[in-house]
């Protein structure tokens, strides 16, 4: 009987110590999240989800703080290079190893494929019949309206009537990406990124963060030449010609958010802070969701300048040449 009591006492002691360790570990994780990770840079809150999404900068910060390093191994590779049937797919396993001992602390798997929507499809753009440039935009009404081959987008400056079938008859629906080979490096990097985030979540952070946004396809963005200008909720939408848009290739550093109430109506505006020193604003939750999945990545931002403000109209990953 004494042996049974001894075993029972030992188990109770083990449970008690395990409980104290679990509580201390949770407190340490909470302290790291509140003290070291920055909202919009290391993680982002997506409207409609119950947990923030852990981003690559946050995963790297956690890894470094715990004295770990990422060791990637290839699980599967598909590189089909035929122009009419090109496909790139990569699956990586990320092992988080302790510096000094190389002991494996956690592991995660990440997969990415050029068949995903963000890589498989491109938005078709209207092309100038004279110079062949995809630089057609709607002209301002005060300057005659119609269509313009915009010179700031390497167009020739040609003008066309609003009902000109050569322009109005062109499709602006999404099309299969004709340059899928340019996505190879991006797809490879994204698979490694997803594996890293998965491994960090497996350290015990899955109760605080999710990876759903990393794996979700990006929402389709409207054509930059015809994208509607985002207006604050407090204003009534007004019909007007689309403003010419410009684009910037830069690195997205963080997504910041501000909110308030004007005339009794709530509003929320996101700021896409980039390495070029500019912050591009948007009232679109869809565009903000897209941006949060691209923090730390090279991006192309299409925007419209109105006074002192730069209004983002679309954002997508920049595919290296």
Average pLDDT, the chain: 79
Q: Whole-angstrom Cα distance, residue 11 to residue 125?
A: 69
Distance between terminal CA atoms of the chain?
Answer: 76
Q: Which domains does the chain have, with CATH numbers?
A: 38-117+180-214 (3.30.160), 125-170 (no CATH), 218-321 (2.40.50)
Tens digits of residue pLDDT in 91-118:
999 999 999 999 999 999 999 999 988 8
Q: Whole-angstrom Cα distance, residue 95 to residue 58?
A: 17
pLDDT at 142 over 50: yes
pLDDT at position 69, please?
Answer: 95
Q: Are strands 298-306 and 279-282 parallel, antiparallel or unpaired?
A: unpaired
pTM for the model: 0.60
- Tell which wins on pLDDT, 244 or 318: 318
Q: How far is CA 252 from the centre of its chain?
A: 9
According to DSSP, the residues that pair with 121 across neighbouring strands are: 176
User: Mean pLDDT over residues 265-281, rounded?
Assistant: 87
Tens digits of residue pLDDT in 15-50:
667 667 767 777 777 787 777 888 888 888 766 667
Give the chain's largest Cα–Cα span. 99
């Amino acid at each position: 009987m004494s042996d049974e009591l001894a075993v029972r006492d030992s188990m109770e002691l083990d449970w008690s110590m395990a409980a104290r360790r679990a509580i201390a570990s949770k407190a340490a994780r909470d302290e790291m999240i509140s003290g070291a990770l920055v909202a919009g840079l290391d993680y982002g809150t997506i409207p409609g989800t119950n947990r923030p999404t852990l981003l690559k900068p946050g995963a790297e910060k956690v890894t470094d703080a715990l004295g770990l390093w990422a060791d990637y191994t290839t699980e599967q590779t598909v590189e089909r290079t035929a122009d009419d049937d090109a496909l790139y797919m990569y699956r990586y396993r990320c092992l988080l190893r302790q510096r000094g001992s190389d002991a494996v602390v956690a592991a995660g798997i990440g997969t990415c494929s050029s068949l995903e929507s963000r890589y498989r499809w491109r938005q078709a753009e209207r092309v100038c019949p004279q110079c062949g440039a995809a630089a057609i935009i709607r002209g301002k009404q005060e300057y005659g309206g119609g269509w313009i081959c915009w010179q700031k987008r390497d167009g020739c400056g040609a003008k066309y009537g609003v009902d000109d079938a050569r322009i109005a008859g062109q499709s602006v629906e999404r099309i299969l990406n004709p340059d899928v080979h340019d996505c190879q490096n991006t797809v490879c990097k994204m698979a490694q990124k997803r594996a890293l985030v998965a491994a960090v979540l497996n350290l015990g952070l899955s109760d605080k963060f999710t990876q759903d946004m990393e794996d979700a396809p990006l929402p389709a963005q409207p054509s930059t030449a015809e994208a509607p200008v985002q207006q604050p909720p407090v204003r009534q939408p007004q019909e007007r010609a689309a403003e010419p848009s410009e684009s910037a290739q830069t690195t997205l550093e963080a997504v910041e958010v501000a909110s308030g109430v004007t005339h009794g109506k709530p509003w929320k505006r996101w700021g896409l802070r980039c390495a070029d020193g500019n912050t591009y604003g948007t009232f679109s939750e869809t565009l903000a969701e897209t941006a949060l999945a691209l923090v730390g990545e090279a991006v192309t931002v299409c925007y419209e300048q109105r006074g002192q403000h730069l209004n983002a109209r679309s954002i997508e990953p920049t595919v290296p040449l």
